[in-house]
Amino acid sequence: MHYQNLLFDLDGTLTDPREGITRSVQYALAKLDIHEPELARLEHFIGPPLLQCFMQTYHLEEARAWEAVNHYRDRFKVTGLYENRVFDGIDTLLGRLRDQGRTLFIATSKPTVFAREIARHFGFDRHFTQIYGSELDGTRTDKVELIRHLLEQEGLDPADTLMIGDRKHDLIGARRNGLHGAGVGYGFGSREELLGEEPAYYFASLDELSGAFD
């Protein structure tokens, strides 16, 4: 693992945000008079851009989907942000990677303002040079656009940079920007989803990911 620069997805890669995201989606849907009692049926909202998820899952027009996103944020920014859990072993891994002299970034489709607060609240922001997310107006929710922006802003060499994430969007974003991608199987993307994108690496567990950097 020769990579100097490591880009980490947030949801499903560094933390398990299942409760906060699904409850906030449930709240937003109820505001639109769409009632979904089973939180497990909303887990596919973890990872992809929210607007597209609302549009595709519930066949909403864009304006109506934005209403859902805004209702979601009303709850998420107050409560859902903190209904989260850092995966066991992540803090140790990040500290070791920094000790090895690597440069770490977060690359998430979540709005930057939320990503920074999560990293601050759970105490792992100190490991990262910078946190890159989307804007509240939807700019850079697409991982291809986000990673391109990050590379340009930081002046990173794609050949010396690895994207690590749990969904296909992370791997597609990496590939289309000339980066290698590593899929992790302990998050919310299935093995089939991740291997279907032919990543340079696949780590079924956090132990496997950590072991690759020993």
What's the token pair of residue 16?
């398990």
| Category of 101 on φ-ψ map: left (φ > 0), alpha (ψ -120 to 50) or beta | left
Q: Supply angle C-alpha 137, 43, 141, rounded to 5.
A: 20
Alpha carbon dihedral 168, 161, 126, 45, in 10-degree steps, equals -10
The answer to whether 9 is a known catalytic residue is yes
6, 150 in Cβ contact below 8 A? no
User: DSSP class of residue 11?
Assistant: B
Pair type for strands 5-8 and 15-16? unpaired
Given 9, 16, 166, 170, which residue is catalytic? 9
Identify the three-state secondary structure at position 3: coil
User: DSSP class of residue 87?
Assistant: P
Which positions are annotated as active-site residues?
9
